[in-house]
Amino acid sequence: MKAKPVNVALSTLQKTRSAARGALLWGYEQRLAREVGEGGKLPRHLGLILDGNRRYARASGMQRELGHSFGADKAHEVLQWCLELGIPAVTIWVLSTDNTSRDPEEIAHILGLLQREALNLSTDPRIHANRVRVRAIGQHTAFPAHVLDALRELEARTAHYDGMRLNIAVGYGGREEIVDAVKLHLASQADAGMTLEAAAAALTPDDISAHLYTADTPDPDFIIRTSGEIRLSGFMLWQSVYSEYYFCDVYWPGFRRVDFLRALRDFQGRDRRFGK
C-alpha cells in the first residue's frame, strides 16, 4: 500500500483533533447550560462592559474598525443568550464619554455602527416578539442628527413594551450621569419653589437615584467586563455599589456562550451580603 504524504496525514490529524476539541467544548457548554438553568438565581439586571474590540482586531491582524464591527455582531449574539435565559434587564456599554475623544474616523465608524444597529433592532423580530424596551442612555447632544434619529425611532417603537429592558449606554460616563441626576433634582426643587439651601439640606441618596438614566430599572446585580481589564472605568458608578463583578480575559468579539455561562455560574455561587 502506498503511504499517504506526510502533509496529508498531518492535515487529517489536525482536523480530527479540531473536531474532538469542538465536541468536547460543545459537551462542556451543554453541561454549563444545565447547571445555570438548574441554579435558578439569575441577575435581575446584567451590566456588560464590551471591552477589547480594538485589541481583538490588532491581535487578529485586521483593521481597527473591523474589531468594532465584530463587536456589534457579538452584542446581537449575547442579546439572544440573555433572551433565552429570561434576564429581565441588560445594560451594554458601547461608548464612553472618555472614548469620544479618540480618532474622529474611529468615532465616526462607531456612530455609523450605532445607527445601523439601531435601525436593525427597530425591525428585529426578536425585539418585538419578546417585547424588549430599548433605550439609549448617556449624553447624545453632540451626535450627528442621523444617529439621533435612528435612536429615537428605536426608542419610540419599543417604548410601550413590558419585556426585557435593554439599555444601550453610549456617550455614557458614570460621573456625568450623577452630575445630570443632581442637576435634574435641583431643577425640580427650584420649580417647586424650594431654595438651594433647603434643597441641599433635604437631599437624600434616593433623590439622586430617582433621576439617574436607569431610574426605572433595578440596580445591576452582576457586571461582566471582557478583555482582562479589572476596573469599572466609570460604568454605573452609583448603581453598582452592591453589584457583583466578573472579569473575563477574552476580548469582547471573542466572547463565547461558554464564557457567558461560566460567568453566570460564578454569580450563582456567590453569597450576596450587600455590604453587611
**31 annotated ligand-binding residue:** no
**130 annotated ligand-binding residue:** no
**97 annotated ligand-binding residue:** yes
**225 annotated ligand-binding residue:** yes
**50 annotated ligand-binding residue:** no
Active-site entry in 7, 51, 149, 219 = 51
β-bridge mates for residue 93, sequence order: 49, 169
Amino acid of residue 106: E
Angle 6-39/257-268 helices, nearest 10 degrees?
30
β-bridge mates for residue 169, sequence order: 93, 137
Active-site entry in 73, 99, 103, 207 = 99
Q: Which helix (H) or strand (E) holds 117?
A: helix 104-123
**240 annotated ligand-binding residue:** no
**152 annotated ligand-binding residue:** no
**233 annotated ligand-binding residue:** yes
Q: Are 255 and 226 in contact (CB under 8 A)?
A: yes
Q: Are 166 and 200 in contact (CB under 8 A)?
A: no
**249 annotated ligand-binding residue:** no
- Per DSSP, the chain holds a count of helices (H) and strands (E) of 10, 6
Q: Respond yes or no: is residue 149 known to be catalytic.
A: no
Q: Respond yes or no: is residue 99 known to be catalytic.
A: yes
β-bridge mates for residue 246, sequence order: 224
Active centre residues (catalytic): 51, 99
Cite the annotated binding site by residue number: 51-55, 64, 68, 96-98, 102, 225, 231-233, 244
Task: Show binding-site residues for substrate.
Answer: 52-55, 64, 68, 96-98, 102, 225, 231-233
Residues making up the annotated binding site for Mg(2+) are 51, 244
